Amino acid sequence: MSLVGRSLDRRAKRFVAWNEERIGAARGIKWAMRYVFPDHWSFLLGEVALYSFIVLVITGIFLALFYIPSDHMVTYHGSYAPLQGFRMSEAYQSVVHISLEVPAGLLFRQTHHWAADIFNASILLHLTRVLFTGAYRKPRDLNWMIGLTMLTLGILEGFAGYSLVDDLLSGMGLVIAYAVSMSIPLIGGQLSILLWKGAYPGASVFFPRLEILHVFLIPALLAVLITLHLGMIMRQHHSQFPGRGRRERNVVGTPMWPAYALRSVGLLLAVAGVEFLLGGLIQINPIWQWGPYHVYLSENGAQPDWYIGWLIGALRLMPNFEPRIDGFTIFPNPFWGGAAFPGFVFAVMYLWPWAQRKLTHDYRPHHLLHRPRDRPVHSAIAAAFLSWVLIVFMVGATDRVFFRLDISYQDEIRFWRGGVWLFPIIVFLVTLWVCRWLQRHDPHPLRGWDGQVVEPVQISDPLQDREQQAAGTHAPPAGG
Amino acid sequence: MSNLIGRLLALLTVWRLSRRSDSEPSAQEQPDISPLEDPSKREVPNSRKAELVVAILVTVGAASGFAFTAVYILNSHANQLLGVTMGGAFVALAAAAIVAGLHVVPQETSVEERDSLLEEGEPEEIVEMVESGGEGVSRRVLLTGAAGVAGIGLTTTVGSAIASLGPRMRNIHKVPWSRGVPIVNEQGKIFHASEIQVGSFYTGLPAGHFWEDLGAPLLLVRLPRHYIHLPPTRPLAKWAPHGIMAYSKICTHAGCAISLYRYPVYAPTSVGSPAFTCPCHYSTFLPGYGGTVLFGPAGRPLPQLPVTINPNGHLVAGGHFDEDVGPAWFDVRVPKNFNRNG
């Protein structure tokens, strides 16, 4: 060892000793450095969400230093000529200022917006992976619920974020949120009056309230839930796919130090890099083009951010059913698409682990995952359910289809009012067939570029036993 | 570089083949891993080429970071260049970290045992420990009950404080329109009846009132007589003088401002009548039929406001709405003799 190396080595040891005298974390540090991460690409989706959250916090702090949460009306005299002399809220003016005058402001705003879209997308993909591979089963059912709560908060957080801007698009979103909140049976009216401090557009405190929600309450909650989510994963250790030497009682993979730490830092930097490239190169939500919001204005062909799309689809798909009893409107129409539909979807997801236990009578803990094909019925139900939500999501784009392809909007809606029930049945049957075919022939679509051999689950599994009896087949021996 | 990639690919193939031959189906769950099945391994790559690649990538990342500062100083509004340099710095460093993680540092596959979460006897022990804290307490039921009441009391306190977030619902029906309020355009100029042309729609606002209330904006249209089929409770002289009609501009579904107007015929349907459509969820209303819903999710017709043309030809409100404007809630006022088809 060189002289410099020896000196550095001595200093490092002295530094660690300094820490140990005060914190005494040696056992924890050694444990963390040896913590094993199973290698599978699909395990990175959750990390993408985590790293997007970090990008969101950093870019968000930058934006919060310039944003003014005020509905006070001012006349625009900034650098953007087309808006000269327009009456607008101070909130909107401050975001136009961030976008067009603050140095690097547009980069940070667009990166923030892209990161929010990626944050929610990666949570959803992670959820799908966890659902189809059975990673939500005991002991991870509690963590599954924390994850779902984070998705709910992520959607709310994104919506609150683009509503703060008070451009024409965000105002239209806010009034719809007000209508959905009003539509909650019995308490909706009073609830909305509390949130907005008066009938829409509410009192001047509304924007400060929305800002506190967006920059403090929800991010703080998310930070707490992320900590719990990760803490629980580390206590239980990661789940893993079956494979050579992999058992319920162990976990096989790359230890944290050094290889995994470097790869994961690489992923953090890659996520940040891609998001900054998107923020620099691909325009998103050019709010100066939408103009300021006024209650009496709206824009045609407006589309929300993707994670709100399923709600706009549900609001559009719903027939005009608005039952009234004795002069009272029991269920105002926006309740169905805006509250009942997402409430039902999340309720099903929250109860999924419980229902799976009840239906399969499988109450054991599981650390080995299964491939989607290993449980055809489970995968088919999950695919059908997700396709139901996906169709509603796509209905949110029916007006784009009308503008582009000139297919009558009303015919499209009438078609999907039936299709939304018919297609999931088809998806169910197709998924079932595909899973059984894959079980019989066992090709490996991923092996070519992944290098992983994921073996089928052992057939000591009640659900699979029953499924195989029903199908009259037996699983082929594990494919090599 | 290509040499390096070639070698890596060869290595990968050999590794894959070796794994494939190993991965014979294991018979049954085995308590321990047999030596043949033990996947643990540790390889030290010792690749000078990979180290060089990492060094180059780190340098590129650093250069890209300096370039960001340079762009920022020269032209801080060159968003594309700022994004490319900032993103480029991160991407280059990401590539460096990943190459280092895969080809520079020791590659290790190790096996970690999972300890079981539930230990035999632990739950009982914890419950006993908790219960031992109540040793010697004789009035347990009384104390538990009192604590429960205190809990409800505290919840009520917090609940009451929530009420100060907003006023009560008193003003929710309030709308700026009443008989005689002049109808003005977005520039504040009062509408003359002659400005309302057949085939177009106009946004009307209440002179001297706050324009940002949901009750404020109006849709003004003029229709030829043969398109007008108002219910008998709305005499034409008061509700459609010279064919001019005023409706709330706020959709009764979710509160967006209606901004689509199809004249003379709403094309996708066979109804031979003009129609308003809301761009948010495409609720479609018929101005010729008193605001009836033709299609879409809206559950109530569009509220109509009586209009008066005063002696000098200006438009003023001829009265007030007799129903609530905007999205519905539990106690929303619906039109008298309401039925869905107007």
Task: Give residue limits of the domains in chain B.
Answer: 37-109, 183-317
Please give, rounded to a whole number of angstroms, the shortest distance from the CA of A167 to a CA of chain B: 14
Which residues in chain A are contacts of B80 at CB distance < 8 A? 280-281
Please give, rounded to a whole number of angstroms, the shortest distance from the CA of A127 to a CA of chain B: 24
Residue A256 lies in a domain: yes
Please give, rounded to a whole number of angstroms, the shortest distance from the CA of A46 to a CA of chain B: 18
For residue B258, give Cα distances in angstroms to A301, B193, B249.
12, 22, 6
pLDDT at position B270, please? Answer: 56
pLDDT at position A298, please? Answer: 92
Block means of pLDDT (10 residues each) for chain B, 342 residues, are 56 50 41 67 92 98 97 94 97 98 95 91 95 89 95 94 82 89 96 95 96 95 94 94 97 96 70 88 93 93 96 96 93 72 42
pLDDT at position B21, please? Answer: 40
Average pLDDT, chain A: 91
pLDDT at position B284, please? Answer: 93
Query: pLDDT above 90 covers what percent of chain B?
Result: 73
pLDDT, tens only, B179-202: 999 999 999 999 999 999 999 999
For residue B37, give Cα distances in angstroms to A20, A384, B111, B219.
39, 38, 11, 77
Question: Quick one: tokens of B65?
Answer: 């970071």
pLDDT at position B4, please? Answer: 55
SS3 content of chain B, % helix, strand, coil (to 5): 40, 15, 45
CA-based nearest residue in chain B for residue A326: B331
State which amino acid sits at residue A90. Answer: E
Per-residue confidence band for A473, with pLDDT thresholds at 50, 70 and 90: very low
| Between A164 and B10, the higher pLDDT residue | A164
Which residue among A203, A268, A280 sits closest to B82, beta carbon to beta carbon? A280
Supply φ then ψ for residue B259, to 5 degrees: -140, 15
pLDDT at position A174, please? Answer: 96
Which residues in chain A are contacts of B91 at CB distance < 8 A? 269-270, 273-274, 277
Q: If you average pLDDT over residues A133-156, what whole number do you get? A: 97
pLDDT at position A300, please? Answer: 84
pLDDT at position A15, please? Answer: 95
> CB distance A103–B102 less than 8 Å?
no
pLDDT, tens only, B53-108: 999 999 999 999 999 999 999 999 999 999 999 999 999 999 999 999 999 999 99
Residue A9 reports pLDDT greater than 80: yes
Rounded distance between C-alpha atoms, residue B216 and residue A294, angstroms: 11
> CB distance B327–A294 less than 8 Å?
no
> CB distance A259–B38 less than 8 Å?
no
Residue A269 lies in a domain: yes
Rounded distance between C-alpha atoms, residue B256 and residue B219, angstroms: 13
CB pairs under 8 A between A and B: 339
* Domains contained in chain A, number: 1
Residue A248 lies in a domain: yes
Residue A470 reports pLDDT greater than 50: no
pLDDT at position A471, please? Answer: 44
Please give, rounded to a whole number of angstroms, the shortest distance from the CA of B302 to a CA of chain A: 14
| Between A209 and A449, the higher pLDDT residue | A209
Q: Specify the CATH number for the domain of residue A76.
A: 1.20.810.10
Which residue among B89, B282, B328 sits closest to A322, beta carbon to beta carbon? B328
pLDDT at position A26, please? Answer: 94
pLDDT at position B264, please? Answer: 74
pLDDT, tens only, A312-368: 999 999 999 999 998 899 999 999 999 999 999 999 999 999 999 999 999 999 999
DSSP string, A151-187: HHHHHHHHHHHHHHT-BHHHHHHHHHHHHHHHTSTTT
Tokens 């999710």 locate to B297
Which residue among B40, B105, B279 sits closest to A299, beta carbon to beta carbon? B279
pLDDT, tens only, A169-189: 999 999 999 999 999 999 999
pLDDT at position B16, please? Answer: 52
- Its domain, for residue A42, covers 35-299
Residue A446 reports pLDDT greater than 70: no
Residue A362 lies in a domain: no
Which residues in chain A are contacts of B167 at CB distance < 8 A? 193, 197-198
Rounded distance between C-alpha atoms, residue B67 and residue B46, angstroms: 33
Per-residue confidence band for A440, with pLDDT thresholds at 50, 70 and 90: confident
pLDDT at position A448, please? Answer: 39
Q: Which residues contact B140 (CB under 8 A, 6 or more apart)?
A: B134
State which amino acid sits at residue A184. Answer: I
For residue A423, give Cα distances in angstroms to A384, A420, A426.
8, 6, 5
- Do A144 and A225 form a contact (C-beta atoms < 8 A)? no
Please give, rounded to a whole number of angstroms, the shortest distance from the CA of A265 to a CA of chain B: 7
> CB distance A35–B112 less than 8 Å?
yes
Residue A265 lies in a domain: yes
Which residue among B28, B268, B334 sits closest to A409, beta carbon to beta carbon? B268
Disruptive mutation site among B329, B338, B340 for chain A (greatest number of A CBs within 10 Å) = B329
> CB distance A176–B12 less than 8 Å?
no
> CB distance A104–B76 less than 8 Å?
yes
Q: Which CATH class is domain B183-317?
A: mainly beta
pLDDT at position B37, please? Answer: 75
Angle, vertex CA A114, rays to CA A450 and CA A60, nearest 5: 120
